[in-house]
Structure formats: C-alpha cells, structure tokens
Chain A
Amino acid sequence: MTINKVQKNGKLILDIEGRLDTATAPQLQGVLIPAFDDCKEIALDFAELVYVSSAGLRVLLMGQKQAKKTDGTMTLQNVSDEVMEVLEMTGFTDMLTIEQQRNFL
C-alpha cells in the first residue's frame, strides 16, 4: 500500500493505493490519526484501493472517532467498487461520510 498526501484549500487528501489489510492497516493508522492534529478536514481517496479487510475498517473507525474528538471531518471519496462492496456489507456506508464524485485537482 502507498499513501500520497495532497494539500488542497486547507484540506488534506490521502490517496491510498493498493491493499488495506492486516499487514498494511497499521501504516494508515500511523499517518491518519496524527494528521488530525494539523488539519480539520481530511479526505481519503480510495480510487486506487482494491481491497479492504476488517483491519482496515477498524482504522477508518478510529479515524472517524479522532475526527469527532478534534472537531474535524473525515470523508471517503472515489471509493472503488471492490471496497464499496465491503463497506455496504458491513453497514459502514451508514457510519462514514462518502462522496462519490471525482474531485479533479
């Protein structure tokens, strides 16, 4: 998995590419949670994310909680079909904020 950080209008976009699973979830956790210290508005771009397991979903929940704690927001954008299927299956689509139109930079 690779994480690319993009700053745009005071918003931080994390482009996540590859797999978010047992092996890689800690890596996202290490980037995402501290990011709320500097930025209130964080978007996770999942266009290139092809797989997510429960380990990845747990990090998303932690991110959501951290956002609340710091009065920030966390949004998922451009979620790929494979990942969307898992989010729907687990009811995460109701818990997280998801924006599906592409944001052109």
Chain B
Amino acid sequence: MSILSVKNLEKRFGDNVILKNVSADIEKGEVISIIGPSGTGKSTFLRAMNFLDPPTDGEVFFDGRLITKKNVDAVRRRMGMVFQNFGLFSHMNVMDNLSAGPVKLLGVSKSEAEEKSAELLRTVGLYERARFMPRQLSGGQKQRVAIARCLAMSPEVILFDEPTSALDPTMVSEVMAVMRNLAKSGMTMLVVTHEMDFARDVSSRVFYMDEGGIYEQGNPEIIFNNPQRQKTQAFIYNIRSYNYEVESRDFDYAEMLSGVENFCFRHAIGKRDANRLQLITEELIINIVTPQYGACSLAVHFSEKQETCNISVSYKGESGNALDGAADDLSVSMVKNSAKEIRHQYADGINTLTAVL
C-alpha cells in the first residue's frame, strides 16, 4: 500500500483553479522532486496534502487512511513539513525548538526529548548551537535546525516546500547536504525545488508540474535527458540555456557578460572553458556580427550528456556567414581557434552561427 495517495485532487481559490484532477501514489522510501515554472501550483499541491490549504475536492490517503479535518493533526505528526522561511519559534532556543513538539504532542519526557534532539543536532552539524536563539543563526543554519526539528517528531514522510529558495547561494549546499543524507537514510520525501542537481541526482521520481497538474512524471533520467511532452522539453531546455537579445551596437555589455558568467557558474563550467565561452561570445557579437548586421540574439546552451557547450548567434538578413565578411581578422581567428567546430545555418531569413566548445 502506498504511504501517500492523492486521488482527483482539486484546489480552487475563488474562481481561480490552481490544481485540477491531480492523482499520485507515493511509496515508502521514495524521494520525489517537484519541479516546474512558478505559479503552477507546486507549493499548493504540497500544502493541500497535509491540509494547510485543504483541497477543494478530491481525497488524500495517508498510510491507507483518508485524511479529514478531524484526523489531520494526528496525520501531521507522522508527516512533517519544512518551509521556505524556516518557521522556527523565534522565542525559543534551538534545543527547545526541537524538544517542544515531542514533549507536548508525543508525551515524551523532557530529558528523553533533549537527548534525541542533541543527537539530531549532531547529525545536522549544529550541536554546538543548541543554546543559540534562531536570530543568532545564519539562514542555512536555521533551515538545518528546521529539518532537525521535523525529524524530532519521527515522521514517516517529510514535505519540503522550496527549502533553499530563501537562502543565500553560499548556504544552499549545507542544507542540500543534509537533505541528501536524509534521502540516503530511506526517508520518504516530497521536495518542491529549483535545485536541479538535487532533483536529478537524488530523487527516485520527478514530477514536472504545469497546466494545473502533474504534466509529466518519470525517473530523473527520463525527465532531464529525454522528456516526452512539449512543455517539459521547453522547461528542461531553458534551465540549461542562457539567452540575450542584442538590440544595437550600444547594448548593455556588462549585463550580457554577467549573464554568461552566471551561466558558467550554474553549470560548473571550468575556468578554461568559461574563458573560451566568454571570448567567443564577445568576439562574435561585438566584432563580427553587430558591425555587419546590427541586432542579433545570443543563445548559450549546455548539454551535460555530450559535455559540450554551444554558443549560437542569430541575425537577420540575406544568407551570409558573418565570419567570412568580417573586417576583423584577429577576432575571426580567436573564434576559430577557441571553438571545436563552427557551423553556419540559414533558414527563414535568419542566419545562425553556432560555435561548439
């Protein structure tokens, strides 16, 4: 029997239908990443499951039992939730944040609860902070405390609602590390996330949400490398691309550069390749294409499977390879020497030069 079953779930806010006819079965030990564009009901789906936002229609079963408003408190003790903004009790120190639930709701003695809390704080690397108040912790530390607090209730399932979205980029990895360990330990987890590395490496299944429901689901290999449906394909393609429109020769070079740098950082592209990528982009756009054709668009695309990076510059006009017409030999040779391969294509009045790194 599935630990969690959702049947024909629907959620409306007034006339606004957020989720319609969503069904899913989640087995014990599964780690499910829920991904998709903003506003497609990912968090609403999670919150409907534990009745923080009760569904307008449909049923949710936990361990075979229908969840109702009457029994939801009992269910929540077995199904924890970690929030984007931590949700710690600000007037209690770290230790009390962890122990309060077991003492008040599970009837555990204070000393027993504190013993277990200490152990949990060690596993998330924060035992030394046990007597600190939440305001004395960094965002990443707060979220690790929130996860430990959730674990203090010995839940069977944990729902994570964008657990790293409110964090500084430097703190994301410490929280992700705790979640990876938790997944390894066999915990059943549903994670709404923008961390695609986590979704790809850790989850057993990925739900891609769009159009008010689970638009496509499958193992990470399918969703990330071979998505079947059109919107999933577009979403996956986009998270691996950087696009920039150059409207004239006076465009904002610094903005484009920081976009390209960010892209390299996000995909962990090495220093040498990142430099070549930036060099090809700068020479192609500034010295080769815009002097001849004016406006153009840049698309940088990273393919993990082939370990290649493609830099495409598209421009309108008659069919012509901008590298042949360029007045600037130095720039042309830099592009040719930095790329493994360069292709020119012409279709529907648009030229595309693609450099493969």
Contact = CB atoms under 8 A, between A and B. Distances in A.
Interface in A11-28: 21-23
Interface string A56-86: 0110000000000000000000000010011
A23 B253 contact: yes
Interface stretch (B78-86, B135-143, B274-282, B300-308): B274-282
Contacts of B253: 22-23
B333 interface: yes
A89 interface: yes
Contact of A85 (B257, B272, B287, B331): B272
Interface residues of B, number: 19
B334 A54 contact: yes
A90 B282 contact: no
A57 B330 CA distance: 9
Interface of B: 253-254, 257, 271-272, 275, 278-279, 282-283, 286-287, 328, 330-331, 333-334, 337-338
Interface residues of A, number: 15
A89 B280 CA distance: 13
Contact of A54 (B254, B272, B275, B328): B328
Given A23-B254, A53-B334, A54-B287, A86 B279 contact: yes
29 contacts: A22-B253, A22-B282, A22-B286, A23-B253, A23-B254, A23-B257, A50-B275, A51-B275, A51-B278, A53-B279, A53-B282, A53-B334, A54-B282, A54-B283, A54-B328, A54-B330, A55-B287, A57-B330, A58-B330, A82-B271, A82-B272, A85-B275, A86-B334, A89-B333, A89-B334, A89-B338, A90-B330, A90-B334, A90-B337
Contacts of A22: 253, 282, 286
B330 A82 contact: no
B3 to A, nearest CB: 51
B283 A53 contact: yes
A4 to B, nearest CB: 22
Nearest to B288: A54
Contact of B333 (A23, A51, A85, A90): A90
Contacts of A85: 272, 275
A89 B286 CA distance: 19
B14 to A, nearest CB: 50
Contacts of A82: 271-272, 275
A73 B237 CA distance: 52
A79 B300 CA distance: 29
Nearest to A58: B330
Contacts of B282: 21-22, 53-55
Contacts of B337: 89-90
Nearest to B282: A53
A3 to B, nearest CB: 18
B253 to A, nearest CB: 5
Contacts of A53: 278-279, 282-283, 334
Nearest to A53: B282
Contacts of B286: 22, 55
A16 B271 CA distance: 19
Nearest to B281: A53
The 7 closest A-B pairs by CB, nearest first: A89-B337, A54-B331, A53-B282, A54-B330, A82-B275, A22-B286, A23-B253
B254 to A, nearest CB: 6
Nearest to A92: B330
A54 B333 CA distance: 10
Nearest to A51: B275
Nearest to A61: B330
A87 to B, nearest CB: 11
A50 B257 CA distance: 14
A90 B328 CA distance: 13
Contacts of A89: 333-334, 337-338
B338 to A, nearest CB: 7
Contacts of A57: 330
Nearest to A83: B275
Contacts of A23: 253-254, 257
A55 B253 CA distance: 13
Given A82-B272, A90-B330, 16 more contacts: A21-B282, A22-B282, A23-B254, A23-B257, A51-B278, A51-B279, A53-B282, A53-B334, A54-B331, A54-B334, A55-B287, A82-B275, A86-B279, A89-B333, A90-B334, A90-B337
